[in-house]
Amino acid sequence: MLTFFLLLKEFLQIRPHIVHTHSSKAGILGRWAAFFAGVPRIYHTIHGFPFHQQQFFLTRQLYVFLEQVTSCISSRLIAITREDIKKGLAKGIGRRSKYLLIRDGIEIKKFRERQFPRELLKKALGIKEELIVGTVSCLKPQKNPLDFVRMAGMIPGRRVGFIIVGDGILRKRMEEEIYKNRLNDRFYLLGWREDVEKIIKIFDVFVLTSLWEGLPKALLEAMASGLPPVVTKVDGMKEIIEESKNGFLIPPGDYKEMAGKVKILLQDKTLREKIGEKARESVKEEFEISGMVSKLDNLYRDGSTDFSLEKYPHIR
**d(Cα 216, Cα 195) in Å, to the nearest integer?**
17
Domain assignment of residue 254, yes or no: yes
Contact between 89 and 69 under an 8 Å Cβ cutoff? The reply is no
How do strand 41-46 and strand 131-136 relate by DSSP bridges?
A: unpaired
**Structural domain that includes position 166:** 108-284
pLDDT above 70 for 304: no
Is residue 52 very low, low, confident or very high in pLDDT (cuts 50, 70, 90)? Answer: confident
Q: Average of pLDDT values for 225-229?
A: 97
Residue 76: which CATH number?
3.40.50.2000
Domain assignment of residue 149, yes or no: yes
CA distances (Å), origin 207, targets 63, 222, 263, 278: 29, 9, 12, 16
Same domain as 216, residue 267: yes
Same domain as 262, residue 229: yes
* Least confident among 6-10, 29-33, 45-49: 45-49
Tell me the one-letter amino acid at 314.
H
Same domain as 239, residue 300: no
Produce one character per residue of 106-141: b if its CB has 16 or more CB atoms within 10 Å, e if not: bebeebeeeeeeeeeebeeeebebebbbbbbbbbee
Is residue 56 very low, low, confident or very high in pLDDT (cuts 50, 70, 90)? Answer: confident
Same domain as 62, residue 156: no
Same domain as 100, residue 113: no
What pLDDT is recorded for position 267?
96
User: 192-218 pLDDT, tens per residue?
Assistant: 999 999 999 999 999 999 998 889 999
Number of domain units in the chain? 2
**d(Cα 133, Cα 152) in Å, to the nearest integer?**
8
User: 124-181 pLDDT, tens per residue?
Assistant: 999 999 999 999 999 999 999 999 999 999 998 889 999 999 999 999 999 999 999 9
Domain assignment of residue 316, yes or no: no
**d(Cα 82, Cα 96) in Å, to the nearest integer?**
12
Same domain as 235, residue 208: yes
Using a pLDDT cut of 90, give the percent of the chain over it: 83
Domain assignment of residue 68, yes or no: yes
Residues with Cβ within 8 Å of 153's Cβ and at least 6 positions away in sequence, in order, are 181, 182, 183
Same domain as 220, residue 145: yes
Same domain as 176, residue 148: yes
Same domain as 136, residue 169: yes
Q: Average of pLDDT values for 241-258?
A: 96
Same domain as 78, residue 225: no
**d(Cα 32, Cα 121) in Å, to the nearest integer?**
47
Same domain as 164, residue 276: yes
pLDDT above 90 for 113: no
Question: Long-range contacts of range 26-35, CB-CB < 8 Å, 24 or more positions apart?
Answer: 27/70, 28/66, 28/67, 28/70, 29/3, 29/4, 31/70, 31/73, 31/74, 32/4, 32/70, 32/73, 33/4, 33/5, 33/7, 33/8, 34/7, 35/73
Same domain as 210, residue 85: no
Domain assignment of residue 7, yes or no: yes
Is residue 51 very low, low, confident or very high in pLDDT (cuts 50, 70, 90)? Answer: confident
Domain assignment of residue 158, yes or no: yes
